[in-house]
């Protein structure tokens, strides 16, 4: 007897009519395209995303523009009715449990053939998850030998096919979830990943390959850059070794010259002292002879007087007394002396000569040192964002002078000096060696040096190292001073017209030179720099028009050859 349920089931269309030809599953959000064929909305969109043109997967009809897709509501309702008569399916949890407890249901073959062997294929011993291929023992050898292939992940060939299938649904992993960054099957996109952005595996694979190629190119460029840097470092070390050897030779030459000069001065001092001793001895001998003669004369007179005193003849006594009453001619010996300290002044004179010699060597070395600075020359410009409102900068940012009146209100930025007439350089230095030259001319007042980034720029400032400044200055046309704590007066033979500033960040040095005379002025050493340093300028206020000239940054000089030999000629 035929029941109502049997009649309903007989009227249900065949199941294949309600399955998408792309995902092979019952339609989800069915849409119809202009040629009349139906597909899941996500399936046809993903299919077109992998193609250069929009065409029907079944009849291959091509559309000039991608059709606008809308869900076929009537067809979707029919599919919902159809789904009611389908046999129940297991839940995702049950599917996972089945996959865990029934692995042999996925793959039944015990042996996996080698993908490389031609003709008769040998049994695979390992499968590569990177190469996506299985290898026999012979063809696996490159993966065991090549360092690049050794990083590939190998697995048991029996489990290798499972890596291509979804563990939940036992379906091919053809889609990729961008949110979870994991491969998924079509059924996953309908359920757990339904509201996630998914794309076909091929499309994501192409994107990843493009990214890998770009990354590989970037890595190659980074490798080449580091190889070049390694070569530069090696060359620098080799050059440094040669320079060090020359410096050792040069310093040996200088020390030898100084030692010879000291020896000559010592020999001269010894000779002078010996001559003084001989002279003293000759004088002493002369004095002793003279004294001995006077003693003899006095002894003779004493004997004569004694003999006259004993005479018994008054006439003889009176006649002889006048000639014997006068004492023999003698010298006043109370002021006569022979000094034992003959070396007074000689040693000091000799040391003074040595000091002059060392100073001469120091000046020559200073000139050589100053000549080398040009190889570290940098192009320095003034930063208008830091300049006080009283300052005027040239258009090329190379000159700074004081204005007779303050500019109209400027932006009160944290970088700007608001009270002191100061300005910093635009360039900052955090490593290496740098050198620049400033023309001060006949200015009577100025400050020059370097300053760290975190200095106080508001109100009154204190220019000294513990405040972040390493500078020298001139005031009232007098001697230069190092702005240390306390200040150090620099007694120079000539006031420089151009001041060179040398910064060695790693060594913690800030040195100042007379750029024209090639002489050293002052050096801050043992400094600890931990932040960017900027060139520091202060043209100072005008002194009745005497200090109106600008501070001028000099153009770069021709760079000298690095590792230039030091030659010292001594005329000592």
Residue 265 or residue 462, greater confidence: 462
For the chain, the residue count is 572
- Distance, in Å, from the CA atom of 394 to the CA atom of 79, rounded to the nearest integer, reads 81
Contact 280, 338 (CB under 8 A): yes
Percent of the chain with pLDDT over 70: 86
Q: Are strands 391-393 and 399-402 parallel, antiparallel or unpaired?
A: antiparallel
Which of these, 428, 467, 478, 457, lies nearest to 538 by C-alpha position? Answer: 457
How does the average pLDDT of the chain come out, rounded? 81
Lowest mean pLDDT among 57-71, 222-236, 425-439: 57-71
Over 50: is that where the pLDDT of 240 sits? yes
Over 60: is that where the pLDDT of 280 sits? yes
pLDDT confidence tier of residue 273, bands split at 50, 70 and 90: confident
Q: What is the mean pLDDT of residues 264-288?
A: 86
Residue 401 or residue 559, greater confidence: 401
- Distance, in Å, from the CA atom of 14 to the CA atom of 9, rounded to the nearest integer, reads 10
Over 80: is that where the pLDDT of 77 sits? yes
What are the tens digits of pLDDT across the range 283-333?
889 889 989 998 998 888 888 888 878 877 888 778 777 777 777 778 888
Residue 298 or residue 400, greater confidence: 400
- Strands (E) across 351-393 are located at 391-393
Q: What is the mean pLDDT of residues 438-462?
A: 93
Over 50: is that where the pLDDT of 346 sits? yes
Secondary structure class of 437 (helix, strand, coil): strand
User: In the prediction, which pLDDT does 119 show?
Assistant: 76
What are the tens digits of pLDDT across the range 91-136?
444 444 444 443 333 333 457 788 888 778 888 898 886 676 788 9
What does the H/E/C string look like for 436-479? EEEECCCCCCEEEEEEECCCCCCCCCCCCHHHCEEEEEECCCCC
In this structure, what token pair is assigned to residue 276? 């003084």
User: In the prediction, which pLDDT does 406 show?
Assistant: 76
pLDDT confidence tier of residue 528, bands split at 50, 70 and 90: very high
What residues contact 1, with CB distance under 8 A and at least 6 apart? none
Over 80: is that where the pLDDT of 561 sits? no
Residue 91 or residue 565, greater confidence: 91
């Amino acid at each position: 007897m035929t029941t109502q349920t049997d009649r309903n089931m007989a009227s249900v269309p065949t199941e294949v009519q309600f399955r998408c030809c792309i995902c092979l599953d019952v339609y989800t959000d069915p849409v119809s395209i202009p040629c009349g064929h139906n597909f899941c909305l996500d399936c046809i969109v993903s299919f077109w995303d992998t193609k250069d043109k929009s065409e029907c997967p079944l009849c291959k009809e091509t559309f000039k523009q991608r059709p606008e897709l809308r869900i076929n509501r009537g067809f979707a309702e029919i599919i919902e009715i159809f789904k009611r008569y389908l046999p129940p399916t297991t839940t995702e949890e049950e599917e996972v449990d089945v996959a865990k407890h029934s692995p042999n249901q996925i793959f039944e073959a015990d042996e996996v053939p080698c993908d490389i062997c031609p003709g008769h294929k040998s049994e695979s011993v390992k499968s590569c998850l990177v190469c996506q291929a299985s290898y026999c023992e012979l063809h696996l050898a490159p993966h065991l030998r090549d360092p690049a292939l050794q990083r590939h992940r190998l697995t048991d060939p029996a489990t290798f096919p499972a890596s291509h299938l979804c563990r939940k649904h036992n379906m091919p992993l053809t889609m990729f979830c961008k949110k979870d960054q994991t491969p998924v099957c079509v059924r996953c996109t309908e359920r757990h990943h339904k509201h996630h952005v998914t794309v076909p595996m091929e499309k994501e694979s192409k994107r990843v390959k493009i990214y890998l190629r770009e990354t590989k190119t970037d890595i190659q460029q980074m490798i080449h850059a580091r190889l070049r840097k390694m070569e530069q470092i090696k060359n620098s070390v080799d050059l440094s070794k040669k320079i060090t050897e020359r410096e050792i030779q040069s310093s040996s030459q200088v020390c030898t010259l100084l030692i010879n000069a000291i020896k000559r001065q010592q020999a001269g001092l010894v000779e002078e002292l010996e001559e003084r001793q001989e002279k003293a001895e000759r004088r002493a001998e002369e004095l002793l002879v003279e004294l001995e003669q006077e003693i003899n004369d006095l002894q003779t007179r004493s004997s004569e007087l004694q003999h006259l005193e004993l005479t018994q003849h008054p006439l003889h006594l009176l006649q002889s007394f006048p000639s014997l009453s006068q004492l023999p001619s003698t010298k006043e010996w109370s002021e006569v002396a022979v000094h034992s300290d003959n070396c007074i002044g000689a040693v000091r004179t000799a040391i003074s000569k040595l000091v002059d010699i060392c100073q001469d060597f120091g000046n020559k070395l200073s000139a050589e040192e100053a000549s080398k600075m040009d190889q570290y020359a940098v192009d320095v410009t003034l930063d208008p964002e830091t300049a006080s409102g009283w300052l005027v900068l040239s258009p090329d940012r190379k000159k700074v002078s004081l204005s007779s009146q303050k500019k109209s209100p400027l932006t009160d930025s944290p970088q700007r000096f608001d009270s002191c007439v100061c300005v910093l350089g635009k360039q900052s230095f955090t490593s290496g060696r740098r050198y620049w030259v400033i023309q001060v001319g006949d200015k009577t007042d100025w400050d020059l040096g370097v300053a760290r980034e975190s200095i106080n720029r508001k109100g009154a400032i204190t220019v000294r190292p513990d405040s972040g400044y390493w500078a020298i200055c001139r005031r009232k046309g007098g001697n230069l001073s190092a702005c240390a704590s306390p200040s150090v007066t620099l007694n120079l033979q000539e006031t420089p017209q151009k001041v060179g500033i040398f910064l060695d960040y790693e060594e913690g040095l800030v040195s100042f030179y007379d750029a024209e005379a090639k002489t050293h002025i002052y050096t801050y050493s043992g400094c600890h720099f931990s932040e960017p340093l900027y060139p520091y300028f202060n043209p100072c206020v005008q002194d009745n028009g005497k200090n109106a000239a600008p501070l001028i940054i000099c153009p770069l000089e021709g760079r000298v050859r690095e590792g230039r030999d030091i030659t010292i000629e001594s005329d000592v």
